[in-house]
Amino acid sequence: MIRCLFGLVPAAVAALLLPSPAHAVVDACSVIDRNFEAGHADLATAQLSAMLFGAADNDCPALVPRLIAAGASISTRDRTGGTALTHAARSGRVDMVRLLVASGADLNQRDIGGATPLSIAIETSHGPAARALIDAGADVALAGHAGVTPLIAAAYNGNLGVLDALLGHKADPATTDGTGKPAVLYAAARGFSSIVMRLLDAGIDVNTVYANGLTVLSWAAGHAEDVPTAEGATLVTRLLDRGARPDVADDRGQTPLMIASAMDHADVVDILLAHGADRMARDAKGKTAADLAGSDVLRAKLLAQSPAR
């Protein structure tokens, strides 16, 4: 509450909303309520709206109609361009989200970075709040900073429930962000097998070639290092079972096998080889998967299984 309120109003005003050090453990809603009752007749709109932000942050629904009736504006924006609904979404306050929407809050108000309350709820991993906004009619296509749509954010965070809700409200699975990547690539890079499969079921072609000549399999083969080994392997297997071509080369001439080898994803290398990946293919610099191997163990394994060069 302190951080968001100081950005909007002077310290003297913010002090109205904060407990003294001796009462720091007092419930935040009670503090705002007491300060409102003590001075609401003399509080300006900006002060009342700051209290509304505090109510949204701290889940104080009883205060909302009283603050609005006293002159707080549901449309007032803080220094980052967020409204009370933005605060509720960021804090994951589902009942507060519903109350503010019913009170006339703009579902699609963007902050200065271009993010809507829906985008913020997804990016902060507050799925129930995100679904409440979707159900209330939030625009599921509005992209925020760098062209990131709610669907891309949900895929990146691995939130299948929100992703399903977005798809159910006609979010386009093929939309790309400012870097040319759609939701499915972010999910593949993070090893989220269920999300990737859901996006394929929604109409994404498993062999579509994206920016830099990369496919979904390319991204899955080079998945992030923090992806559990079993999850990365499962995703690659499921993509191959769905018809992903194992030898599509990117703009460097590197195939999924080379990418997996360079990342030292040994299990993925084994799966790709079992599905017919060409271990002798060379990239634009003439290097094979063995040449690019991320460890001596994997390099030796690839060389031992390769025909004489």
Say what the pLDDT of residue 23 is: 43
pTM to 2 decimal places: 0.86
In this prediction, the residues of the chain whose per-residue pLDDT falls under 50 are 1-26, 309
What does the domain layout of the chain look like in residue ranges?
1-100, 113-181, 205-309
CA distance to 71, 160, 253, 270, 279, per residue, from 301 (Å): 72, 37, 22, 10, 11
**Same CATH fold, 205-309 and 113-181?**
yes
Q: Which pLDDT tens digit goes with each residue over 196-234?
A: 999 999 999 999 999 999 999 999 999 999 999 999 999
Domain 1-100 architecture: Alpha Horseshoe (1.25)
CA distance to 160, 215, 275, 298, per residue, from 290 (Å): 36, 21, 17, 8
Contact 279, 291 (CB under 8 A): no
How many Cα atoms sit within 13 Å of 1 on the Cβ side? 25
- For 113-181, CATH number? 1.25.40.20
Measured CA to CA, the distance from residue 91 to residue 128 in angstroms comes to: 11
Say what the pLDDT of residue 26 is: 47
Give every CB contact of residue 71 below 8 A, 6+ residues apart in sequence.
43, 45, 48
CA distance to 72, 86, 208, 266, 304, per residue, from 214 (Å): 51, 36, 8, 20, 28
What fold characterizes domain 205-309? Answer: 1.25.40
Contact 282, 288 (CB under 8 A): yes
Measured CA to CA, the distance from residue 242 to residue 184 in angstroms comes to: 14
Q: At what angle do helices 266-274 and 296-304 cross, to 10 degrees?
A: 20
What does R_g of the chain's alpha carbons equal in angstroms?
25
Token reading at 176: 């790309």
Contact 127, 157 (CB under 8 A): no
Say what the pLDDT of residue 7 is: 34
